[in-house]
Structure formats: C-alpha cells, structure tokens
Amino acid sequence: MADQSQFTYTLQVAPLTGAVITTLAKHYPEADIRCREHDKIIIIQNRDLPADILDSIRLDLLFYDRNPTLPLENLCSNLHNYIPKNESQKEMLLYAEKLITFNDDSVGAGLYIYGEAGIGKSHISVGVSKQFMKRGLQSNFQFADRFTLSTSTNLQPGQVWIIDDMNSGYHLSSRLFKQVVLNAHERGGRVFVTSNKDYDELMTEMFVGDSKANRMRYEDRTKGMFKILHVVGNSHRQANAWYLS
C-alpha cells in the first residue's frame, strides 16, 4: 500500500490546467485527485491508494513535466492500458515489450511502426518511453515535427530515443533521424519510431538529391537494426468522438 500520508506532486515546467486535472481524474478515479493550480501542486487525497497506481501517476506527471507539449490524450498512456483491436496491433504491443526488455547493450535495436492515424502509435510511443524511464534510462522523447537545429541529440552510447510522427523525409527532423539511428547502430542504443509512411518511402524522400550508393550504405547499416511493422485499424479518435456519445 502507499504511504499513509497525502501525496503531492509539483510540476516544474508543464502547465497545470483544469484539463490536466480532469484527464488524471478520469484515468485514476480512485485517487481522488485535487490541485492547487496557482502553485502547480497536484494532490492525491486517497491515502490508501495502491503503490502501483501511485507509481503510475508519478510516472505520468514526470513524463508530462519533461514533455510539456504532450497532447492530453496521451497524458496517461502506457503499455498496460493500450487495448489492441487486431493482430497487427497485438504485434505492435508485443515487439514494443521485446524492445524494452532486450538487454544486449552492444547491439543497436529499434522498432519502426507505420500506419494510419488514430490506431495507437503515439499511445505506444509514450508507453515505451515511460517503461524505459522505469528502468532508470534517459528516455529522449521527440515529436518529429518539433525538431529544430537547437535540439540536442545527446549522441551517447546506450541512448534511448523515441521519435513520434516521423512523417516526412524532407523535414528538418530527417537530420535527427539519421544521426540517432546511425549512432545507435554503431554504438548501441534503442530507437522507437512511428510514422504514417512505409520505411522505404521515407528513405526515398530522405535521400533525394543524394547518390544511390549513399542510400544503400545507410539502409544496409540501419534497416537490419529495425523491426518494421505495418499496423492497421480504424481510428480510435473517430470511434470515440464526443458527438457519438
């Protein structure tokens, strides 16, 4: 059981809004969550809350504080509350868990998951990032379209990178992708990438204007590092739209 004292969490960076509290309360109704919005303090009223739920809330808030632009629909996303609807989604969840538990630090390993919007790719990417955090690893979560030249790629051995919505090989984020993937391949590390595009289509865009030989060398070094999965299904967002209830 949790410690018999009131638990509080103070956000340092991420905004504390009514929507944040409502989202947390919806996912953890047993926690009796309150807030002091003026000083960014979140209060868990239930002193008998099970330790695993308390730990989950702590992790959600820590991840949100490190990634303040996180959409609220993913605030409480983790691997345990993702419900696959078909075999391809079950496979996505299976290999996400395999990537997290793969323990050979001398080998670069990655997942490249592509498919239509709304099938849970971002949910899984956030869940994977949180699981690596639970293992005590520095999980670098990056929305591809928000990458800038000032973004530190922190290219260290054993790095963990999660790149969500890598949807264009023409975007500046292709630079992040190439650096991170090559570094993980050569020095060890874990890379999890989601996209709406097939891997080969993305590579074609990334190497426009470059030689075929350079692209082949890059693919030879990296494609073997990735397990590439095509995930299908109907959009969860559309199926749960507010106007359908």
- Encoded amino acid at 224, one letter: G
CB 90 within 8 A of CB 84: yes
pLDDT of res. 172: 86
Task: Give the number of other Cβ atoms within 10 Å of residue 108's Cβ.
Answer: 24
- What is the average pLDDT across 39-56? 87
pTM: 0.89
pLDDT tens track for 98-135: 999 999 988 899 999 999 988 999 999 999 999 999 98
Mean of all residue pLDDT scores within the chain: 88
pLDDT over 60 at 211, yes or no: yes
Q: What DSSP state is assigned to residue 195?
A: E
Q: Kindly tell me the burial class for residue 144, based on how many C-beta atoms sit within 10 Å of its own C-beta (0-12, 13-18, 19 or more).
A: buried
Single-letter amino acid code for the residue at 36: R
Widest distance between CA atoms in the chain = 64
